[in-house]
């Protein structure tokens, strides 16, 4: 289990997450430390392969607010949380089964415009 926070300044508290492969299931809790509502400064946490990052972002914009800016059923998305506003928190649990050591992964906020700043690397160590 790990926690990451983000506030109204559009930055995650960490730009790097490293997890050991011995963890079969990972739970990420996102805490929004800001005050602004989800409609104006919403944040979520999304995990994809680095190679899929741009496509997921592009398709997510068209998916809209009601889908957390994630294309419904997008197989390129390995895990994601719902969009939250200031003072809220949310979690997602996912298996490491489909995550490979040595492959590059990116976590980011899919809210339009946020992904350019709010992103980091996710690494699975063997």
32-55 per-position pLDDT tens digit: 999 999 999 999 999 999 999 999
pLDDT band (50, 70, 90) for residue 64: very high
**What is the residue-averaged pLDDT of the chain?**
96
Q: What is the pTM of this model?
A: 0.97
Residue 126: is its pLDDT beyond 90? no
Residue 70: is its pLDDT beyond 90? yes
Per-residue pLDDT, 110: 98
CA angle, 75 then 124 then 9, to 5°: 75
């Amino acid at each position: 289990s790990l926690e990451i926070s983000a506030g109204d300044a559009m930055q995650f508290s960490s730009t790097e997450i490293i997890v050991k492969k011995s963890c079969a299931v990972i739970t990420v809790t996102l805490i929004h430390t800001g005050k602004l509502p989800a409609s104006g400064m919403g944040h979520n946490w999304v995990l994809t392969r680095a190679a899929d990052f741009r496509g997921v972002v592009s398709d997510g914009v068209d998916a809209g607010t009601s889908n957390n800016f994630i294309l419904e059923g997008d197989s390129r998305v390995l895990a994601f949380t719902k969009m939250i506003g200031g003072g809220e928190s949310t979690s997602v649990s996912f298996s490491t089964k489909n995550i490979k050591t040595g492959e590059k992964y990116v976590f980011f906020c899919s809210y339009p415009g946020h992904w350019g700043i709010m992103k980091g690397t996710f690494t699975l160590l063997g």
